[in-house]
Structure 1
Amino acid sequence: MPVFSSLDALSDLVTQRGQLFVRWSRGPAVDLQRGSSMDDLTGAAMPGLSASPLDVEEWWAGRPVRVWVARRLYDYSHLPRVRDARTRPWVLTGEELGRGPDNEPLVRHVCPLGWIAGQVIAEANDIVTRQPGRWGPIRRDGTAP
């Protein structure tokens, strides 16, 4: 699978194409074999893979796409540390069919487009930490990032 090695390349893809998502997991080989995500709290199988949307929302109103994409990557960048060191981000396209328990899109008919390199995550983290305000990755354990 190809690798997106710069935030600019990933941002260009987001600008050119719709229905893009990022998923943090062990990868498409594992995920597509399973076919769906599971709710961590209840163990219920969901009807698709949980993912984060990369498409820029209208309310973003001309702000830099790079900052949008950086924030979307930053939100779950803690997962390799807290869930499984083999967890990596990858870009996919597919059909959104509903929402999971955290209001995340559930995607079916998944087509993997590429891995996201570690340096892209580092670049995203740098961009987000330089923004005004207080941003942090989405976490459930109540600890600071």
Structure 2
Amino acid sequence: MSTFDELPVLRDLREPARLVDSTPHLYVRWSHGPEADENHRESRDALTGVRMSGLSANPLDVEPWWEDRPVELWVARRLYDYSHLPREKGEGVRPWVLRGRVEGRGPDNEPLVTNVEPVGWVDETVIREAAAAVVDQRGPWGPMRRDAG
């Protein structure tokens, strides 16, 4: 059994929110997991196939403009915004939280992270909670759309 199999599983929205609240520079990555990514250590631009300088991930740090709003809602949005990725990238793609160092930016301005340290898996129940939290908001808010017209 690898150490990746032993990663904790974040099972409700409060767990990643507590992590984000207490640990700076966390990211969420949607992939086949840290073990699969360990062998590649870099992402490829989906449009051109160009190798990028790290693994694409999305920051979880709360921005100052968020002020004193709930960290759970911040995390919910960060997860919900990319919850379409398993449908687009295929079976076995799921979110996991990591620490790392930003080496650059990808074509969607996402951080490209190196020196990756896996922190935990994000359970599907957290994604469902995130979707419910977003749906409960009154503004027009949804996952990023990639359709070109």
TM-score exceeds 0.5: yes
Distance 1:132 1:142 in 2: 26
Q: Tell me, yes or no, if structure 1 residue 105 matches structure 2 residue 94.
A: no
Q: Deviations over 1:69-91 (max 9, x none)?
A: 00000011011112212110000
Look up the equivalent residue of 2:63 and give its one-letter code. Answer: E
Look up the equivalent residue of 1:107 and give its one-letter code. Answer: V
Aligned CA-pair RMSD:
1.0
Q: Tell me, yes or no, if structure 1 residue 85 matches structure 2 residue 85.
A: no
CA drift at 1:142: 4.8
Report how many aligned residue pairs link the two structures: 143
Structure 2 match to 1:73: 79
SS of aligned partner of 1:106? strand
Look up the equivalent residue of 2:125 and give its one-letter code. Answer: Q
Q: Deviations over 1:14-72 (max 9, x none)?
A: 00000100000000011111010000001000000000000000010111100000000
Q: Tell me, yes or no, if structure 1 residue 96 matches structure 2 residue 75.
A: no
Instruction: Report percent identity of matched pairs.
Output: 56
Structure 2 match to 1:133: 139
Structure 1 match to 2:128: 122
SS of aligned partner of 1:122? helix
Q: Could you list the runs of 5+ residues in structure 1 that have no partner in the other structure?
A: none
Distance 1:18 1:8 in 2: 16
Q: Name segments (4+ residues, structure 1) moved above 4 Å.
A: none
Q: Could you list the runs of 5+ residues in structure 2 that have no partner in the other structure?
A: 1-6
Structure 2 match to 1:64: 70
CA drift at 1:138: 1.2
Distance 1:28 1:113 in 2: 10
TM (norm. structure 1) is 0.96
Look up the equivalent residue of 1:18 and give its one-letter code. Answer: P
Structure 2 match to 1:51: 57
